[in-house]
Amino acid sequence: MGYTLRLLLVEDSPDDAELLFRELRRGGYDLTVERVETGPDLIAALDRGVWDIVIADYSLPHFSALEALALVRQRGADLPFIVASGTIGEDTAVGAMKAGAHDFIVKGNLARLVPAIARELHEARERHARRSAELALRDRERRFRSLIEHASDIIALLAPDGTVHYTSPSIERVLGYAPRELAGQSILDYVHPEEVARVQELLRRAGAAPGPPVELEFRFRHRDSTWRVLDAVVNNQLDDPGVQAIVANARDITERTRTEERMQRQLARLAALRTIDMTITASLDLRVTFRVFLDQVTAHLHVDAAAVLLFDPHTQFLEYAASRGFRKETDTRAPVRLGEGCAGRVALERRTLRIPNLAHADDSLRPPILLAEEVVAYYGVPLIAKGHLKGVLEICHRAAIDPDPEWVDFLETLAGQAAIAIDNAMLFDELQHSNMELALAYDTTLEGWSRALDLRDRETEGHTQRVTEVTVRLARAMNISSHDLVHIRRGALLHDIGKMGIPDGILLKPGPLSEEEWAIMRRHPVYAYELLAPIPFLRPALDIPYCHHEKWDGTGYPRGLRAEQIPLAARIFAVVDVWDALHSDRPYRATWGEEQVRSHIRGLASSHFDPHVVEMFLQLAL
């Protein structure tokens, strides 16, 4: 089967048409043919079908090949057009070719018909391919130009030295410049001075040799003189004949950068507040707290100096408590009276005072010491906790400050933190003072009880104070903690508190006690336990009153404890109690000498007393 040829034939002679068809079939073509004789028929055929070629008789009774050619061109059909005629002169053929015909043949010599058609079909395909490529190229160019002209990013073509060749129209929307306004100028003239060297180096590297794109963020001057942050990707296309420039795609990221900076500031400020919170929690020493606090204040508010003044409600003065960043130490400054100067007015009015420029402030608000420090901008914030004035936070900067609302909010938050720290420290001091007074009252009461017992038993007058002092000394020598020493002291003071339950007839009997009386006397440790155990404050001091008559070998009372079953405090006190008793006059014996007492105590080690306690006791200088 041959190649199918879709032929539109303009011919009034059926015989001539058949000759053409025969020749084409002989040439290997399968034909799809429509024959027309008039212009309207030609137009209808062109609209109705898709044709590979048009062959037209040069002259028809009411139509001609040139008219047919004109109609084909008017319809926009790019079809090979061959003129056929029985007799055609050279001039006629040339005229037809000039009019747009692609070839001509003589009907009497159809040998050229098939080669001519083959050639014209091939050239038609090439024309179509070229036209398609041209259309595609124009379409790409149109779309590329539209992309550039409507791109949100700025597209610029630059020379390696920064000279601007071209900028896309988006530059007007982003930076305010007309598209051709920067042409011929150096981009470096519009870059922020701090970043010119970086951009210059970027262009140098980008222009040195083709390579991967280079990225850079930098500030560029807007037409309104503000600075915008651009994120640029720079690509060397100097070796591309269609470009021959450094291509820069730049995007305005100013708002994103500001948002990121704002978020970073917020995170940093939250971290600062956390640091201050942890300091307040961990330490109630205002010196430590203020040192950390002022470090955070100056760092995160970006100011040169800051100070905290504490308010004394009794004197109505503000005292400088801590400072940071001042050239002269603030602790040498005189107290500030309420209502006087900057800090005094802040404290009196209980509201923030802002002075943008001290040089322009009233004389009453121009402290010479701040002027000497070359302070320009001043902020004073009252420190108020639970409705009470605690002090003033002063912020000083040696240049103008243009704070945003977030800065002011953070300053007030910091002031709140400082007020809380001061309030906590004062509450703690007051609590400590109250606790000390309460503890002193407790101890004074206990001493009163012990003196009352001594007065009841005049033979042991002063005994309690002496054994208490020596017991504490011995316990300290044995490395007992300060916390436990408090309870040991109280236990020693109350060691005989149980004797309050012993009748006078037994306690004050001048002669020896009977077995029954001794049984009652040995109950006094139990009475001490029953008296003190219900009192939580004194429960830790029970070891000595309850157990100081227990013996190392288990023969003591009231429970017959032995060795280390006996609380250490009681073992210590037992030695001291016997030492003091032997040093005191009794109706039934005289006072023993020091060496005799020590020898006696040494002899009771491992039976009556803990041998280690005896060893430590004998080393004391009494």
| DSSP codes joined into one string, 444-462 | HHHHHHHHHHHHHSGGGTT
Which residues does residue 336 pair with via DSSP β-bridges, in sequence order? 318
Q: Which pLDDT does position 1 carry in this prediction? A: 44
At 206, the pLDDT band (50, 70, 90 cuts) reads confident
**Bridge partners for 56 per DSSP:** 10, 83
Whether residue 459 has pLDDT greater than 60? no
Name the burial class of residue 588, with classes exposed (0-12), middle (13-18) and buried (19+) by CB atoms within 10 angstroms of its CB: exposed
Q: What is the arithmetic mean of pLDDT over 576-596?
A: 81
Question: Which of 73-82, 99-108, 327-336, 464-473 is the least confident region?
Answer: 327-336
User: Would you say the pTM of this structure is higher than 0.75?
Assistant: no
- Dist. CA 557–CA 546, nearest whole Å: 9
**Across 42-54, average pLDDT:** 89
CB 269 within 8 A of CB 257: no
State what percent of residues in the chain have pLDDT above 90: 30
Three-state secondary-structure class, residue 608: coil
- Cβ-proximal residues to 577 (8 Å cutoff; 6+ apart), any chain: 467, 495, 548
Is the CB of residue 550 less than 8 Å from the CB of residue 556?
Answer: yes
CB-based burial, 370-390: b 16+ in 10 Å, e otherwise: beebebbbbbbbbbbbeeebb
- Kindly report which listed range (146-150, 270-274, 371-375, 573-577) carries the lowest average pLDDT score: 146-150
Residue-wise pLDDT tens digits, 142-155: 665 665 565 668 88
pLDDT of residue 617: 93
Rounded-to-integer distance, Cα 86 and Cα 616, Å: 150
Do the Cβ atoms of 154 and 176 come closer than 8 Å? no
Write down the pLDDT at residue 140: 66
Mean pLDDT over 572-587 rounds to: 85
Per-residue pLDDT tens digits for 172-187: 888 999 988 999 999 9
Q: What is the C-alpha to C-alpha distance for residues 436 and 448, in angstroms, rounded to an integer?
A: 18
What confidence score (pLDDT) does residue 586 get?
63
Asked whether residue 456 carries a pLDDT value surpassing 60, the answer given is no
pLDDT greater than 70 at residue 288: yes
| Average pLDDT for 160-176 | 88
The span from the CA of 446 to the CA of 353, in Å, is 55
Q: At what angle do helices 405-456 and 463-477 cross, to 10 degrees?
A: 130
Question: Could you tell me the strand order of the sheet in which 164-167 lies?
Answer: 164-167, 154-158, 245-252, 227-237, 214-221
547 pLDDT more than 90: yes
What is the pLDDT, as a whole number, of residue 454?
A: 60
Q: In 75-112, which ranges are continuous DSSP H helix?
A: 90-99
DSSP-assigned letter for residue 554: S
The string of pLDDT tens digits covering residues 395-422 is 899 999 888 888 888 888 888 888 888 8
Strands 388-397 and 377-385: antiparallel
CA 165 to CA 384: how far, in whole Å?
A: 63
pLDDT band at 585 (very low <50, low <70, confident <90, very high): low
294-343 pLDDT tens trace = 888 888 888 999 999 999 988 999 999 888 998 877 656 788 999 888 98
Per the CB < 8 A criterion, the answer to whether 96 and 67 are in contact is no
* Residue carrying the six token digits 């939250």: 270
User: Looking at 10-14, 46-50, 378-382, 453-457, which range is the least confident one?
Assistant: 453-457
Percent of the chain, pLDDT > 70?
A: 87
d(CA 132, CA 182): 38
Phi, psi of 247 (to 5 degrees): -100, 125
Distance from chain centroid for Cα 277 = 17
SS3 label, residue 617:
helix
Alpha carbons 609 and 82: distance in angstroms, whole number: 142
What is the residue-averaged pLDDT of the chain? 84
**Cβ distance 378 to 370 under 8 Å?**
yes
User: What local confidence, expressed as pLDDT, does residue 440 receive?
Assistant: 61
pLDDT for 620 beyond 50: yes
Q: Give pLDDT, residue 559.
A: 95
More confident residue, 458 or 562: 562
CA distance 473 to 492: 12
